[in-house]
Amino acid sequence: MDDILNEIKAMDLKASWLGDWEFEVLTPKDRLASTLSYLKLKGFKAFMGLSCVDWIEDGTFELVYIIQSYDLALEAIVKTKIPRQKPVIESMRSLWGLCEVYEREMHEFFGIEFVGNPNLKPFFLENWLDTPPLRKDFDTLAFSEELFEFKEDETHGIKPPKRIE
């Protein structure tokens, strides 16, 4: 099992075990496609998901690709960082068709542009015009107060709950 990890390390990428059946690979943005296709050739054929972390203090978005190998019974978590100001990355839909849907979701909730994905139209949100809502600098409380107008109601005596910081 350590063979794969050693091979990845030999490619000058950071890789480490997270548990008995799971390891992570940190890759720069321009080597993401080659890393993922290498892992796919090694047996990680199942694409489980794509998610994103907003590291607002570092000014980066971290994209997290989760792929699994049924033959090796292993999970690989491939992480890459892209700048927050201009979040553009190439689409992985040529490797896994399912990526198209996940990329559409990340485009909607974080505003990341996936070059090569023709299907980045609105997905879950209806008529969304503000900044993407899962970015850390999006003020959900101000948005909620403005749009849904939560004010103390004299007839019901409902008070807004206190926000937990």
- Six-digit token pair at 160? 């807004």
Stretch that binds other proteins, among 56-64, 65-73, 79-87, 150-158 (CB under 8 A): 150-158
| List 43, 79, 101, 150, residue binding other proteins (CB under 8 A) | 150
Smallest gap from Cβ 153 to other proteins, in A, equals 8
Closest CA to 98 of 122, 119, 75: 119
Of 116-135, binders to other proteins (CB under 8 A) are: 124-127, 129-131, 133
Q: Does 136 bind other proteins (CB under 8 A)?
A: no
* Cβ-count burial 28-56 (b if 16+ within 10 Å, e if not): eeeebbebbebbbebbbeebeebebebee
Among 85, 148, 154, 165, binds other proteins (CB under 8 A): 148
Nearest to 63 by CA among 38, 41, 35: 35
What tokens appear for 150 in the block?
């939560």
In the complex with other proteins, the residue whose CB is nearer, 34 or 131, is 131
CA 13 – CA 165 distance, rounded (Å): 38
**Does the footprint of other proteins cover residue 161 (CB under 8 A)?**
yes
**Residues near other proteins (CB under 8 A):** 124-127, 129-131, 133, 138-144, 146-150, 153, 156, 158, 160-161, 163
